[in-house]
Structure 1
Amino acid sequence: MKIKETPLKDCYIIEPTIFEDDRGYFFEKYNEKRFEELTGLNGHFVQDNISKSSYGVIRGIHLQKGEHAQAKLVSCLEGRVWDVAVDLRKDSPTFGKWFGIELTAENKTQLYVPRGFGHGFSVLSETAVFAYKCDNFYDKESEAGVLYSDSYLNIDWGIPEQDAVLSEKDQILPGFNKE
């Protein structure tokens, strides 16, 4: 496993070491001890979520606030997505900045999104299966988010605007608050 820093504080790219032969491949998807050694962060996850979406779907920008805030370790199990993390921690030197990376079933790369970040992705392939490991349990009352098309953040979702497919909830999220 290789850990790479992103331009955002505490947000990491995780690349597995893949062992391939004529039978297929093997890789360690996650190792809590190794993750903590390489990042210095707590990597204890308590909930796994899976979503399947079709081309053009944008899910996000979502987060949980307060005592139910979640760090996420995300990956694409099938297809291709453009994954986006947004630093929403007001005391962070990278507050209001975003980072995007293509996660695919082929590259098996993961992104660690810390607590206090917004997270979203767009589907670049016909369909995609996306996995989230979360370090805290979901709590509906703690849901929050930022509008995917916020002009200040100016996120490139990797798909034409006319192809974007959003839930009603995601279409009415508030804009980014710089204060």
Structure 2
Amino acid sequence: MRHRRQDVVDRALLVLDGYGLADLTVRRLARELGVQPSALYHHVRSKQELLALVAEELLRRGPRRPRTGGWHDRLRTVCADLRDALLAYRDGAEVVAAAQAFGLGATGPVAELEEVLRAAGAPEELARVGAATCVHYVLGHVGEEQLHLQAGSAGAIDADPRQTSTFALGVDLVVDGIATRLPDPVAAPAGVSPA
């Protein structure tokens, strides 16, 4: 059976979710698809390209709430959507962080946050650094959440899944910090992030 590139990416997400990033290899993926590893190189040239495709698909499948309200509300919504997309797959934060760190893509949330901040009047550097700070916060927070869940389920720690999250408060702190640096500071009312 011939597979399309989308079939490969879909199966890669299943492997990621079932076994984690460490087991997402071209060899394992080929075995899951019932083909030789060399057959996959028609669709993906390397593990890095596979990682990029998986990261982009993971983000594409994430929620997309309406971007309404002021800049601060839109920023919170983008962060919440990114968090939900990452939490939907095992090691989601690690996959997207790796794709971004290696320059392989997964930059949609950064670009959207930059656009929100530019529209709020942020100069270019503040828009760029503010967007990156938001994404780094989300990746770090979700990475820690996922690590806690995995360590608990593996018995490495004696802890139940956390019932509450400080995510929304952390996003609010970042938003408040950005607001103080805008050329014409506009109060960014603290609110509950949609998460």
Q: TM-score, normalised by structure 2?
A: 0.27
Q: TM-score, normalised by structure 1?
A: 0.29
Larger RCO, structure (CA 8 Å, separation 6 or more): 1
Higher Cα radius of gyration: 2
Q: By percentage of residues, which structure has more strand?
A: 1
